[in-house]
Amino acid sequence: MSDVLDRIRADAAKADAARERNRREFPGVAAIVDELSAEFGEVRVLHAVESGKSIGKPQAFDGVDVDRIIAADDWHSIAQSRRR
| Domain regions of the chain by residue span | 2-83
Confidence of residue 83 (pLDDT cuts 50, 70, 90): low
d(CA 57, CA 38): 25
Q: Are 23 and 33 in contact (CB under 8 A)?
A: no
Residue with the bigger pLDDT between 21 and 74: it is 21
63 has a pLDDT exceeding 60: no
pTM of the entire predicted model: 0.61
